[in-house]
Amino acid sequence: MTASLLILGGTAEAADLARVLAGTRGLRVVSSLAGRTATPRLPPGECRVGGFGGESGLADYLRREAVTMVVDATHPFADRMGWNAARACAGLGLPLLRLQRPAWVAGPKDRWTEVESWDEAIPILRRMSRRVFLAVGRQELDAFAGLDDRWFLLRFAEEAAPNPAPARFALVADRGPFTPEGERDLLLAHDIGAIVCRNSGGTAAHAKLAAAAQLNLPVIMRRRPPRPEGLSVGSAEEAARWVETLLLA
Ligand code: NAP
């Protein structure tokens, strides 16, 4: 019987895993993307795009496609999909692995204030610089809607105007990879005095934090939301070993 793996993706780690497992004998690999980006970087191999329709829709899909194992490699802040996956897999008795890049940890030169939510971040931000690099997702911008006296630098993969949008902002369209030198230049060019971001983890996204430490800038860092309990690894290679162990079982 052919084993079938569903990778819940939208991240570099998910694409790495699809790449590592491509061509594995006796294994069908399907990568799933939410479809948020108009021009996504598609991972290698078979892909499907779009939501499943909640936990029950995902369970229907897993049954219909005879999926035998699932890797949840969604972004650390894409938590809804992770909870749906945990419940659907538990209901069907399917093995589920969480693949996520390790969270960043503040070093001695970092000036972070860690928060659980954007509500917690706003009053802190009001006491900081008026020129802010707001490194958050498009769908989170509404949390900052009341800060009309601030100027924001936004950066997204695509150029489309944000909606909702802050009163005053500049938008840079760039997918990276980013370097500390490049980020330093960007922060200086826009006279940025503070950064707001999420603890996404990863080396490319860390470049802005290295630059912030160099320039002694304060950072408001949002902690990751809670995830379901379960088996978790930090790299595509470890996830591939988990898959291979199941194939041999
Ligand atoms: P989310 O809040 O966890 O998910 C919202 C809904 O989007 C889910 O309930 C699901 O719809 C659908 N969805 C999410 N990931 C999916 C996937 N891999 N395949 C199929 N459907 C998916 O996620 P989000 O924050 O909107 O992020 C959407 C996607 O973008 C994720 O795949 C994530 O890995 C990627 N991404 C997110 C961020 C971020 O900052 N949140 C950053 C980089 C990449 P149904 O309930 O209809 O199944």
Across the range 68-95, mean pLDDT stands at 97
Token readout for 242 is: 């988990």
185 SS3 class:
helix
**Average of pLDDT values for 95-120?**
97
Q: Which long-range contacts (CB under 8 A, 24 or more apart) does 17-22 make?
A: 17/71, 17/73, 17/99, 17/236, 17/239, 17/240, 18/43, 18/44, 18/45, 19/43, 19/44, 19/236, 20/236, 20/237, 20/240, 21/45, 21/240, 21/243
Mean pLDDT over each residue of the chain, to the nearest integer: 95
Which amino acid is located at 206 in the chain? H
- Is a pLDDT exceeding 80 seen at residue 40? no
pTM of the model: 0.90
Is the domain of 28 the same as that of 53? yes
Is residue 90 in some structural domain? yes
Instruction: Report DSSP state, residue 129.
Output: -
Cβ 41 under 6 angstroms from ligand 1: no
For a mutational test of ligand 1's pocket, the pick from 32, 75, 98, 222, i.e. the residue with the most ligand atoms closer than 8 A to its C-beta, is: 75
Length of the chain counted residue by residue:
249
Task: List, for residues 4-34, the tens digit of each pLDDT value.
Answer: 999 999 999 999 999 999 999 999 999 999 9
Kindly tell me if the per-residue pLDDT of 37 is higher than 90. Answer: no
Q: Does any domain span residue 216?
A: yes
| Domain identity same for 115 and 168 | yes
Q: Residue 113: in which H helix or E strand, if any?
A: strand 111-115
Q: Are residues 203 and 116 in the same domain?
A: yes
Question: Mean per-residue pLDDT for 195-221?
Answer: 95
Question: Is residue 106 assigned to a domain?
Answer: no
Check: CB of residue 9 under 8 Å from CB of residue 18.
yes
DSSP structure class, residue 25 = T
Does 76 sit in the ligand 1 pocket, CB within 6 Å?
no
Residues 230 and 207 in one domain: no
Domain that holds residue 201: 111-222
Q: Is residue 187 in some structural domain?
A: yes
pLDDT score for 177: 86
For range 108-127, the mean pLDDT: 96
**Using 50, 70 and 90 to split pLDDT, how confident is the model at 213?**
very high
Per-residue model confidence (pLDDT) at position 182: 97
List all residues 6 or more positions away from 152 whose beta carbon is below 8 Å from its beta carbon.
132, 133, 134, 144, 166, 168, 169, 170
Distance from Cα 9 to the centre of ligand 1, integer Å: 8
Assign 51 a pLDDT band (cuts: 50, 70, 90): very high
How distant is the alpha carbon of residue 122 from its chain centre?
Answer: 22
- CATH no. for residue 25? 3.40.50.720
The verdict on 86 and 60 lying in the same domain is yes
The tokens for 235 are 């790299």
Give mean pLDDT, residues 138-158: 92
Cβ atoms < 10 Å from Cβ of 166: 19
Same domain, yes or no, for 217 and 232?
A: no
Residue 38: pLDDT above 90? no
Considering the domain architecture, whether residues 81 and 16 belong to the same structural domain is answered as: yes
Identify whether residues 214 and 238 lie together within a single domain. no
Instruction: Give the integer Cα–Cα distance in Å for 69 and 191.
Output: 48
Do 209 and 243 have their domain in common? no
Residue with CA closest to ligand 1 atom 1: 78
Q: Are residues 89 and 45 in the same domain?
A: yes
232: helix, strand or coil: strand
* Same-domain status, 141 and 212: yes
pLDDT computed for residue 129 by the predictor: 87
Task: Report the number of distinct structural domains present in the chain.
Answer: 2
Residue 100, ligand 1, Cβ within 6 A: no
Q: Is residue 45 part of a domain?
A: yes
C-alpha neighbours within 13 Å on the C-beta side of residue 54? 1
User: Do both 216 and 124 map to the same domain?
Assistant: yes
Q: Which of 32, 36, 28, 29 shows the shortest CA–CA distance to 8?
A: 32
Enter the tokens of residue 48. 């499907």
